[in-house]
């Protein structure tokens, strides 16, 4: 019996892994352009960090965490998300005592014990960006712009930005009580009734038509905002408009994690079916205190890289062709030529060219097939005749031209040709 990856683990192998890399790079570049700095943080943390940070009423903490006791008896959880761990690291390394906001990004696997289906995995990949240490609504708009620009640079179009606010410690309790009053009068199942007491806002998020119909007239937070939250929300909306970033007001949008307040948002993709959320984020001004830190506001977002790969595939029909293929492929013909080919290929690589060569003793036919498969524009052949003459044969695999070039000039010749065709 051969092994398979555990159920629900998302993995990438060539050629599809190239799309994953593209997606990750698009977000990393967008964040870097906005002067976010990279961080790498723990993949597992003390369980209580997530219980206190992500929140006891969230599904993530109640049902989805991969928690275990380590050999030493510590209670450990594989990160179900990045925000709590990134903020923990910012506090631990005292970054918040330097210039604010602290702007950082990271990426990697996250773990949630969910029911696997298309676009929903137990090990999945997030890109995450956080701006910590300011309440300024400008930074809310900035995080949204960083995500939006990354989606656009991947040429994604069929997505919508949904925007909401959840109020703050002043206005949310008043709203929560009003919502609970409303919901308690409805005819709902036992589970949902229990939820009204724990996390009533989540009931608004229920997708079942019979629940939807009953909550159609539910009060919305926008009508309960205190002055500060209203001004903040209005500013974020104006800023997005001035940046030309289209959004939809989504008064029912409730995020799945407990730490949010004020601005919340999600990016939804039209072609992904049930798992359409390709990213989401918001403000977490109380999180630092919840995990034992000083008062330190923050905002950020995370995107699901797996779903972005699916979105690229569904929009562009993009497949293997999009791999960053080779540009030059070396073909040694006969003994004693391998080292010459490897030298030339290495020289090209050092000059930034993607170059590969045929390994093992393949015949000309097999090696040329490998050259074609590699996607290279040029094949470089060295046989006994070329070696003796001090030349290499360069074949243009696109228009089948070929010519002999002095071995010492071959790398420069290829570099200038590749420069022309870019």
Which residues form the interface with ligand HAM (CB under 6 A)?
A: 81-83, 112, 114, 120-121, 124, 126, 128, 130, 256-257, 277-282, 284, 300-304, 306-307
Residue nearest to ligand HAM (CB): 304
Pairing of strands 328-333, 378-383: parallel
Shortest Å, Cβ 391 to ligand HAM: 53
- Residue 396: count other Cβ atoms within 10 Å of its Cβ: 14
Q: Which is nearer to ligand HAM, 179 or 308 (CB)?
A: 308
Shortest Å, Cβ 282 to ligand HAM: 6
Can you say whether the dihedral through the CA atoms of 222, 225, 229, 234 is positive or negative? positive
The tokens for 316 are 């562009």
b/e code 75-114 from CB counts within 10 Å (16+ = b)? eebbbbbbbbbbbbbbbeeebbeeeebbbbbbbeebbbeb
Shortest Å, Cβ 393 to ligand HAM: 49
Q: Which is nearer to ligand HAM, 304 or 330 (CB)?
A: 304
b/e code 160-196 from CB counts within 10 Å (16+ = b)? ebbbbbbbbeebbeebbebbeebbeeeebeeebeebb
Q: Which is nearer to ligand HAM, 129 or 188 (CB)?
A: 129
151 near 160, Cβ under 8 Å?
no
Shortest Å, Cβ 256 to ligand HAM: 5
Q: Which is nearer to ligand HAM, 275 or 346 (CB)?
A: 275
Shortest Å, Cβ 394 to ligand HAM: 46
Shortest Å, Cβ 272 to ligand HAM: 9
Q: Which is nearer to ligand HAM, 297 or 330 (CB)?
A: 297
Shortest Å, Cβ 194 to ligand HAM: 22
Q: Which is nearer to ligand HAM, 253 or 418 (CB)?
A: 253
b/e code 343-379 from CB counts within 10 Å (16+ = b)? ebbebbeeeebbbbbbeeeeeeeebbebbeebbbbbb
The tokens for 115 are 């029911």
Structure letter (DSSP) for residue 5:
P
87 near 288, Cβ under 8 Å?
yes
- CA gyration radius, the chain: 27
State the Cα torsion 304-310-312-316 to the nearest 10°.
-170
Shortest Å, Cβ 311 to ligand HAM: 10
Q: Which is nearer to ligand HAM, 86 or 333 (CB)?
A: 86
CA dist., res. 356 & res. 213, Å (int)? 61
Q: Which is nearer to ligand HAM, 278 or 357 (CB)?
A: 278
* Continuous H helices in 244-301: 287-290
285 near 85, Cβ under 8 Å?
no
Shortest Å, Cβ 130 to ligand HAM: 6
Q: Which is nearer to ligand HAM, 82 or 247 (CB)?
A: 82
Q: Which is nearer to ligand HAM, 101 or 279 (CB)?
A: 279
Can you say whether the dihedral through the CA atoms of 225, 226, 228, 230 is positive or negative? positive
Shortest Å, Cβ 152 to ligand HAM: 17
303 near 7, Cβ under 8 Å?
no
């Amino acid at each position: 019996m051969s092994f398979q990856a555990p159920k629900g683990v998302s993995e990438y192998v060539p050629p599809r892994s190239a799309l994953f890399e593209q997606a990750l790079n698009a977000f990393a570049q967008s964040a870097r352009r906005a002067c976010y700095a990279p961080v790498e943080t723990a993949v597992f943390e003390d369980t209580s960090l997530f219980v206190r940070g992500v929140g006891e009423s969230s599904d993530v903490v109640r049902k989805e965490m991969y928690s275990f006791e380590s050999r030493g008896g510590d209670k450990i959880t594989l990160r179900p998300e990045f925000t709590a761990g990134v903020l923990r690291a910012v506090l631990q390394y005292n970054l918040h005592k330097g210039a604010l906001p602290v702007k950082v990004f990271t990426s990697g696997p996250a773990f949630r014990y969910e029911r696997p289906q298309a676009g929903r995995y137990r090990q999945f990949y997030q890109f995450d960006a956080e701006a910590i240490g300011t309440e300024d609504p400008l930074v809310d708009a900035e995080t949204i712009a960083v995500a939006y620009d990354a989606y656009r640079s991947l040429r994604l179009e069929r997505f919508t930005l949904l925007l909401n606010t959840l109020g703050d410690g002043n206005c949310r309790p008043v709203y929560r009580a009003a919502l609970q009053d409303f919901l308690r009068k409805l005819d709902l199942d036992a589970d949902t009734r229990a939820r009204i007491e724990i996390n009533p806002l989540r009931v608004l998020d229920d997708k079942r038509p019979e629940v939807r119909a009953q909550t159609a007239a539910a009060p919305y937070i926008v009508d309960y905002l205190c002055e500060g939250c209203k001004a903040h929300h209005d500013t974020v909306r104006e800023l997005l408009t001035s940046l030309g970033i289209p959004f939809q007001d989504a008064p029912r949008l409730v995020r799945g994690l407990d730490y949010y307040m004020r601005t919340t948002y999600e990016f939804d993709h039209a072609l992904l079916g049930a798992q359409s959320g390709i990213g989401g984020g918001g403000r977490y001004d109380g999180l630092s205190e919840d995990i034992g830190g000083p008062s330190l506001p923050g905002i950020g977002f995370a995107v699901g890289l797996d779903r972005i790969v699916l979105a690229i595939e569904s929009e562009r029909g993009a497949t293997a062709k999009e791999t960053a293929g080779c540009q030059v492929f070396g073909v040694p013909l006969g003994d004693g030529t391998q080292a010459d080919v490897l030298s030339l290929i290495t020289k090209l690589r050092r000059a930034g060219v993607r170059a590969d060569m045929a390994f093992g003793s393949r015949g000309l036919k097999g090696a040329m097939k490998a050259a074609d498969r590699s996607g290279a524009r040029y094949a470089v052949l060295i046989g006994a005749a070329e070696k003796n003459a001090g030349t290499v044969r360069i074949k243009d695999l696109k228009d089948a031209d070929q010519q002999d070039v002095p071995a010492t000039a071959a790398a420069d010749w290829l570099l200038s040709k590749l420069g022309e065709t870019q």
